[in-house]
Amino acid sequence: MTMRLNSMAEVEALKQKMKAPGQIFPPTPGRSKYNAVICEADEIKFRSKKERKRYLDLKALQHAGKVSYFLMQVPFRLPGKVKYLLDFLVFWKSGQVTLEDTKGCKTEVYRIKKRQVEELYPVRILEP
């Protein structure tokens, strides 16, 4: 229990630090603050080219018969009304289920939330 409280405190401290005046620069239109280009495929908007590429790869694997289906933007609830959005939940034909998150820039907030999800739920998040 102490670990979760410390983790939430860490998340809140990082949020406050990021809100400090002059530290956040607004992203330019069409880009995130980490220079990920917002793009589209199949009329779905993706936060980065890497996420779109993984989506297209999963569609190809589904068409090839290796993936039964996959879900996108799966929410995990964390303490303190915090939500973690997983990019892909993949159900393979073999019966295996994988949780995948496509990250180009692994921020400290991401690492804390990922660790919390893995502590609270019996899952392991992969980063293909």
pLDDT tens-digit map of 104-116: 788 899 999 999 9
Contact status, residue 2 vs residue 14, Cβ threshold 8 Å? no
Q: What is the pTM of this model?
A: 0.70
Tokens of 64: 């090839």
For the chain, the structural domain boundaries read: 2-126
Taking alpha carbons only, the member of 49, 48, 39, 58 closest to residue 99 is 58
Residue 17 pLDDT greater than 70, yes or no: no
Residue 123 pLDDT greater than 90, yes or no: yes
Distance in angstroms (rounded) separating the CA atoms of residues 68 and 82: 30
pLDDT given for residue 116 in this prediction = 94
As a whole number, mean pLDDT of residues 86-108 equals 92
Please report which confidence band the pLDDT of residue 36 belongs to, taking 50, 70 and 90 as the band edges. Answer: confident
Identify the sign of the CA torsion 39, 90, 112, 83: positive
pLDDT tens digits along 45-88: 888 889 999 999 999 999 999 999 999 999 999 998 999 999 99
